[in-house]
């Protein structure tokens, strides 16, 4: 990857998920020169307790909040799929949309929700994470959806996947230097903050709790999956390990 810009695709269910889940990491990586692209699957049109706000107006406001937050983080682009909030399913349509975007942007790294988090009751978080994982498979092999190659989207295989909101973090990013960037970006989501008046303390405390595990003041934790070319796992023409040979 050295020499080339590292491109990172964030696949989130709602406006605000990226900032809350990995805003410190995203801001840090943007400062390091990585190119960040967001995909937001739903329009967030059910995320309010304010009965004077129509779902249509809420969706407009949240899209604008997401654009501002992404700009604050240093992201290059935000793509809105605008599915109805709360109704996301890891269906073939969503998998296809995400696979097309993976092939279009060719990210080396993908971030998304951990769809296997225990007791995750929000259906959109489960669906977005699962569809993103499924889409990686659709995007990487040429015999999946061959029409994509015909329309100019050849296969692409990312090398790393980071799952946020995980029960099983095995990778920690020190966000001590970018915690303030995360707080500033979360602050852009004004429609959401009224429901969480102590949000600054909570965001800071989450980062401190993860930091205690990571040995830093503030951190974000992920389950990281590194994809290796099949040749590395099963070398071609390799002899089987000696123990497994039949005598
Ligand atoms: Zn969410």
Distance, in Å, from the CA atom of 128 to the CA atom of 120, rounded to the nearest integer, reads: 12
For residues 170-181, give the mean pLDDT: 98
**Helix, strand, or coil (residue 46):** coil
User: Taking a C-beta distance cutoff of 8 angstroms, is the pair 222, 171 a contact?
Assistant: yes
What is the distance in A from the centroid of ligand 1 to the CA of 234?
A: 38
Residues 108-130 have pLDDT tens digits of 999 999 999 999 999 999 999 99
What is the distance in A from the centroid of ligand 1 to the CA of 13?
A: 5
Kind of pairing between the strands at 171-174 and 219-226: antiparallel
pLDDT of amino acid 228: 78
pLDDT band with cut points at 50, 70 and 90 for residue 180: very high
Closest Cα partner for 30 from 76, 77, 68?
A: 76
Residues 203-245 have pLDDT tens digits of 999 999 999 999 999 999 999 999 976 544 454 444 444 554 4
Residues 12-32 have pLDDT tens digits of 999 999 999 999 999 999 999
What is the distance in A from the centroid of ligand 1 to the CA of 82?
A: 14
For residues 194-199, give the mean pLDDT: 89
Residue 60 has pLDDT above 60, yes or no: yes
pLDDT of amino acid 230: 58
What is the distance in A from the centroid of ligand 1 to the CA of 116?
A: 15
Tell me the domains of the chain and their CATH numbers: 7-244 (3.40.50.10320)
Contacts of 89 (CB under 8 A, 6+ apart): 123, 127
What is the distance in A from the centroid of ligand 1 to the CA of 124?
A: 7
Closest Cα partner for 220 from 169, 156, 155, 157?
A: 169
Token digits of residue 233 = 């796992």
Per-residue DSSP letter, 4:
S
Contacts of 131 (CB under 8 A, 6+ apart): 11, 41, 88, 90, 91, 94, 95, 98
pTM above 0.85, yes or no: yes
pLDDT band with cut points at 50, 70 and 90 for residue 4: confident
Contacts of 243 (CB under 8 A, 6+ apart): none
**Helix, strand, or coil (residue 39):** strand
Mean per-residue pLDDT of the chain: 92
């Amino acid at each position: 990857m050295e020499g080339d810009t590292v491109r990172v695709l964030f696949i989130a269910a709602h406006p605000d998920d990226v900032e809350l889940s990995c805003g410190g990491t995203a801001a840090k990586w943007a400062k390091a020169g990585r190119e960040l692209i967001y995909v937001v699957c739903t329009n967030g049109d059910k995320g309010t307790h304010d009965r004077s706000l129509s779902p249509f107006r809420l969706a407009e406001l949240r899209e604008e909040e997401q654009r501002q937050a992404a700009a604050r983080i240093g992201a290059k682009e935000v793509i809105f799929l605008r599915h109805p909030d709360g109704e996301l399913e890891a269906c073939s349509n969503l998998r296809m949309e995400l696979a097309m975007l993976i092939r279009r942007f060719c990210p080396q790294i993908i971030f998304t929700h951990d769809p296997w988090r225990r007791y995750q009751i929000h259906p959109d978080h489960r669906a977005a994470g699962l569809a993103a994982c499924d889409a990686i498979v659709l995007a990487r092999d040429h015999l999946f959806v061959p029409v994509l190659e015909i329309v100019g989207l050849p296969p692409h295989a990312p090398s790393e996947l980071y799952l946020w909101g995980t029960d099983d973090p095995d990778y920690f990013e020190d966000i001590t230097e970018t915690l303030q960037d995360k707080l500033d970006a979360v602050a852009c989501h004004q429609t959401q903050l009224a429901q969480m008046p102590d949000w600054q303390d909570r965001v800071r405390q989450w980062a401190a709790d993860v930091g205690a595990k990571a040995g830093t003041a503030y951190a974000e934790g992920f389950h990281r999956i590194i994809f290796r070319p099949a040749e590395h796992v099963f070398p071609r023409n390799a002899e089987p390990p000696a123990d497994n040979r039949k005598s």
